[in-house]
Amino acid sequence: MPQNEHIELHRKRHGYRLDHHEKKRKKESREAHERSHKARKLIGLKAKLYHKQRHAEKIQMKKTIKMHEQRKTKQKNDDKTPEGAVPAYLLDREGQSRAKVLSNMIKQKRKEKAGKWEVPLPKVRAQGETEVLKVIRTGKRQKKAWKRMVTKVCFVGDGFTRKPPKYERFIRPMGLRFKKAHVTHPELKATFCLPILGVKKNPSSPLYTTLGVITKGTVIEVNVSELGLVTQGGKVVWGKYAQVTNNPENDGCINAVLLV
Amino acid sequence: MALYNFKKIMVVPTAKEFIDITLSKTQRKTPTVIHKHYQIHRIRHFYMRKVKFTQQNYHDRLTQILTDFPKLDDIHPFYADLMNVLYDKDHYKLALGQINIAKNLIDNVAKDYVRLMKYGDSLYRCKQLKRAALGRMCTILKRQKSSLEYLEQVRQHLSRLPTIDPNTRTLLLCGYPNVGKSSFINKVTRADVDVQPYAFTTKSLFVGHMDYRYLRWQVVDTPGILDHPLEDRNTIEMQAITALAHLRAAVLYVMDVSEQCGHTLQEQLELFNNIRPLFANKPLIIVANKCDVKKITELSEENQKIFADLSVEGIPVIETSTLTEEGVMQVKTEACDRLLAHRVDTKMKGKKVHDVLNRLHLAMPTKRDEKERPPFIPEGALTRRKAMEVDAPKRKLERDLEMELGDDYILDLQKYWDLMNDDEKQDKIPEVWEGHNIADYIDPDIMKKLQELEKEEELKERAGEYDSDDESEDEEMQEIRVLAKQIREKKQLMVVESKEKDVHGPRMPRTATKVERKTLEKEMGNLGLDMNDKDGSHYAQQARRSRSIAKKRKREASAPPTSKTRSQSASRPPRDQSGLRDPKMAKKAKKIMKNSQKGMNRQGKKGEADRHVFDLKPKHLLAGKRKSGTTDRR
């Protein structure tokens, strides 16, 4: 029975086939032709996948070639000039940077007073009621149409209990209730899965805010105790706002960006 | 048992391949057509099916991987330890654990998204949910890339491990590197282990099989062990230690007497003492190898003392040389005998023995007188038994003859035939003679059988079995016999007469021709029948062909009745000969005819006009999806 490295042992004892090296060399040189034949003749889905993969390969190849070429040529070294070193004719303009910082701070304070927040998505598409709420017909003859079911993802708090089913006007199905959101920190570029504390504002309508409907552009409050942020005064920050950046009902998850 | 399934583990695909295969399978095996205007439940079902199908495939494949790979707790401790040495138990368990987690995660993802899809109210939404689900499952698998690669390597190495049965009779070879363990196994079994002058040629365990006393024995060759503590040992040495620790085998500790391996006898003795604890409860033999270079008697005093001490302790020391093959058989028999005795002992001490012993009873015949009746063993059996123990070839084998003669060797099996005259051995025997197969008549007792048959026949004849029974017949029978004889004679005469005549092509049978009444009466009268009774006769009147009584020509009985069309057809050449000048042309015409019939014959058609189609809607053309390529025809 063939044991352990029997192939290598056979090669050691008997050597290679007489045409082995020839065949290998020819096979390798044929590869270019086969690849081009494939690229020309493939059709349909296979072609799409193949072209995508090949495109990625080519980009990599070009990058490596460029890197190799960079080594050979001489480049201007940007690091050599230290920062802050200013040519002679600009010597008297240093005071500007500090002034810019101060004026920015004043502008931000004014905006806060006005209630306008700087958010990553300033404008979002408004969702109409027919889109968000679906009419549920009830009654003996299915004529009454006062119940509505929420068709978008929503958040209900921890202590939420439904009103008696006969009287509840807005139905929030359990399958569409989410508790966690994937929140990205814009500077750290890291994403965390944090529990939602509540819906702060839904840009489409205040009704949605009270219902807890989460659509694209909604500002939610998340529990950031995981991140271990601390205020100036030494207090632990455990809640922060984040804005939702995707359509949760289409993707099955809530992706948000932390508002710092 | 898990041992033997190491070769049957399915290939573990790489992460990329796995994803590609599963996604393309989903695309091929699930329905692909869906429209916006379909009913929403149909749309939902369509996309849910895809999500579930993908999940099912991933689940199945991952489960197969998990069940195929052996669980280290379920297999024999020898293999568990060996796998720990080779693949690191922790890494192995972690990799399999990761795969398990991935499987559970994929299941959860599918469950969540299928639940969400129930609320999908448009095609776009369901499609996006399906896309998100498949994407998540594939991402989970992408993260397992390194685990899958590791498992594939483990699988490849595992399938090439030698199948060592830990419970059967085994001989284990151990010692320093380069002392001659691999040469020993090459000599004793059919294993072909690499033998080279450098140390650590054998890097893993090898197994060979041999026969002794009608039983199958395993011989396990290990890589050499150096003398350092257990913690410092590398993977290669650890394999040898594992084999020593777990296999219940007879241990053959091989020492190099000539010190050609690069280590002195003292060092070898040191190693022996260090690994002594591993030899507990195992029959042990010291093999002093390479004795063709240096014998023990040629050694120095202190070295000879080493061997003397060992033999005093009860461990047999046997000198061997794998080059000249002296002592190899002795080692083999000694080791095998000791191991068998040891195994029998252990079995006797065990618990299962009593089940068997209770049912065994050796019956000894009681002595009825003082005569000694020892068991009879024929001479030949005794000599053969002795020869087997010595294991020397008794007669010159054909193989040896072949080796001697080299290229001149011709296989001549006729010299082994057992004939009365030895010089007839090389005679050529024909196979067929006078149309008979000689082989049919070859029978060693053929003359005897012939004589017996003849004797029987003689007896029968004498007893009168072949005499005809004349007296038992009465007058009627005799008359009938006479008549029958006459009829026979007459028949024969008629046959001879007709044979003398000329034959004119096809003939009508006699019964088809008209027979004249006069002829009939005459013939029957000749035969002795009374034809005078005209009233009781039933002669048929044939209607006259023409109104006037035409003169009928006397016709011969055997001439065919010629009608008008028949006479013309006799003068016209038949269709397949008309228009053809010579046989060459006729042959060609026949060939053309046959050619044109070939197609019809192959399709089993009755003729040119048979246009019946057996299968109007063949399944292989009409089932399945319209794949890429031209679809303008079926």
Kindly state whether residue A53 falls inside one of the protein's structural domains: no
Q: What is the pLDDT of residue B1?
A: 41
End of a domain among B351, B371, B393? B351
Kindly state whether residue A58 falls inside one of the protein's structural domains: no
Q: How far is CA B461 from CA A250, B447, B452, in A?
A: 111, 21, 14
Scanning A112-131 for CB atoms below 8 A from B yields: none
Q: For B340-351, how does the pLDDT look when each residue is reduced to its tens digit (9 = 90+)? A: 999 988 888 888
Closest-CA residue of chain B to A253: B132
Answer yes or no: do A6 and B160 touch at CB < 8 A.
Answer: yes
Q: What is the pLDDT of residue B263?
A: 87
- Identify the CA nearest to B61 among candidates B5, B31, B117, B22: B22
Picking from B129, B206, B628, the nearest residue to A44 by CB comes out as B628
Question: What whole-number distance in Å separates Cα of residue B122 and Cα of residue A173?
Answer: 17
- In this structure, what CATH number is given to the domain that contains residue B279? 3.40.50.300
Q: What is the pLDDT of residue A171?
A: 94
B323 and B344 fall within a common domain: yes
Q: What percent of chain B has pLDDT over 90?
A: 40
State the virtual CA torsion across A46, A48, A49, A51 in degrees, nearest 10.
120
Residue carrying the six token digits 């969540």: B112
- Is pLDDT larger for residue B118 or for residue B517? B118
Closest-CA residue of chain A to B205: A4
- In this structure, what CATH number is given to the domain that contains residue A182? 2.40.10.310
Question: What whole-number distance in Å separates Cα of residue A234 and Cα of residue B549?
Answer: 153
Q: List % helix, strand, coil for chain B (3-state, nearest 5).
A: 55, 5, 40
Q: Is the pLDDT of residue B143 over 90?
A: yes
Count, in order, helices (H) and strands (E) of chain A: 7, 10
Q: How far is CA B123 from CA A177, A230, A246, B41, B119, in A?
A: 21, 46, 18, 10, 11
Quote the minimal CA–CA distance from B243 to chain A in Å.
Answer: 16
Assess contact for B284 and B317: CB atoms under 8 A.
Answer: no
Which helix H or strand E contains B244, and what residues bound it? helix B235-246
Closest-CA residue of chain B to A173: B119
Arithmetic mean of pLDDT over chain B: 86
Kindly state whether residue B56 falls inside one of the protein's structural domains: yes
Scanning B124-163 for CB atoms below 8 A from A yields: 124-125, 128-129, 132-133, 160-163
Contacts within 8 Å (CB) and 24+ apart, A35-44: A43/B628, A43/B629, A44/B627, A44/B628
- pTM of this prediction? 0.67
Task: Report DSSP letters for B195-238, one per residue.
Answer: --SSS----S-EEEEEEETTEEEEEEE-----SS-GGG--HHHH
Residue carrying the six token digits 């065919």: B560
A250 is in which domain, residue-wise? 129-258
Kindly state whether residue A40 falls inside one of the protein's structural domains: no
B143 and B181 fall within a common domain: no
Question: What whole-number distance in Å separates Cα of residue B268 and Cα of residue B310?
Answer: 13
Total number of domains in chain B? 2
Picking from A3, A134, A250, the nearest residue to B129 by CB comes out as A250
DSSP state at residue A177: B
Q: Provide, as residue numbers in chain B, all residues whose Cβ is less than 8 Å from the Cβ of A4.
A: 160-162, 203-206
Question: What whole-number distance in Å separates Cα of residue A69 and Cα of residue A63?
Answer: 10
Picking from A3, A247, A253, the nearest residue to B162 by CB comes out as A3
Contacts within 8 Å (CB) and 24+ apart, B482-490: B490/B527
Q: Where does residue B151 rank: exposed (0-12), middle (13-18), buried (19+ CB within 10 A)?
A: buried
Beta partners for residue B216, in sequence order: B211
CB pairs under 8 A between A and B: 58
Whether the CB of A56 is below 8 Å from some CB of chain B: the reply is no
B552 CB neighbour count, 10 Å cutoff: 9
Taking only Cα atoms into account, the Rg of chain A, rounded to an integer number of angstroms, comes to 32
Q: What is the pLDDT of residue B2?
A: 44
Assess contact for B270 and B239: CB atoms under 8 A.
Answer: no
Pairing, β B432-433 against β A229-230: unpaired
Q: What is the pLDDT of residue A132?
A: 93
DSSP state at residue B588: H
End of a domain among B160, B180, B203? B160
Total number of domains in chain A? 1
Picking from A3, A45, A175, the nearest residue to B119 by CB comes out as A175
B51 is in which domain, residue-wise? 15-160
Kindly state whether residue B293 falls inside one of the protein's structural domains: yes
Q: Provide, as residue numbers in chain B, all residues whose Cβ is less than 8 Å from the Cβ of A45.
A: 24, 27, 628
Question: What whole-number distance in Å separates Cα of residue B402 and Cα of residue B408?
Answer: 8
Question: What whole-number distance in Å separates Cα of residue B300 and Cα of residue B358?
Answer: 56
B199 and B86 fall within a common domain: no
Answer yes or no: do A175 and B163 touch at CB < 8 A.
Answer: no
- Size (chain A), residues: 260
Kindly state whether residue B261 falls inside one of the protein's structural domains: yes
- Is pLDDT larger for residue B557 or for residue A135? A135
The average pLDDT across B599-627 equals: 88
B209 and B343 fall within a common domain: yes
- In this structure, what CATH number is given to the domain that contains residue B120? 1.20.120.1190
Q: What is the pLDDT of residue B231?
A: 86
The answer to whether the complex's ipTM is over 0.90 is no
Answer yes or no: do B119 and A3 touch at CB < 8 A.
Answer: no
Q: Provide, as residue numbers in chain A, all residues whose Cβ is less than 8 Å from the Cβ of B133.
A: 252
Kindly state whether residue B439 falls inside one of the protein's structural domains: no
Picking from A44, A46, A175, the nearest residue to B118 by CB comes out as A175
Q: Which amino acid is at B331?
A: V
B310 and B174 fall within a common domain: yes
Closest-CA residue of chain A to B164: A3
Quote the minimal CA–CA distance from B182 to chain A in Å.
Answer: 14
Q: What is the pLDDT of residue B482?
A: 92
Quote the minimal CA–CA distance from B158 to chain A in Å.
Answer: 9
Q: Would you place residue B101 in the very low, low, confident or very high pLDDT band (cuts 50, 70, 90)?
A: very high
Q: Which amino acid is at A148?
A: R
Buried b (16+ CB within 10 A) or exposed e, B76-94: bebbbbbbbbbbeeeebee
Kindly state whether residue B554 falls inside one of the protein's structural domains: no
End of a domain among B160, B191, B207? B160
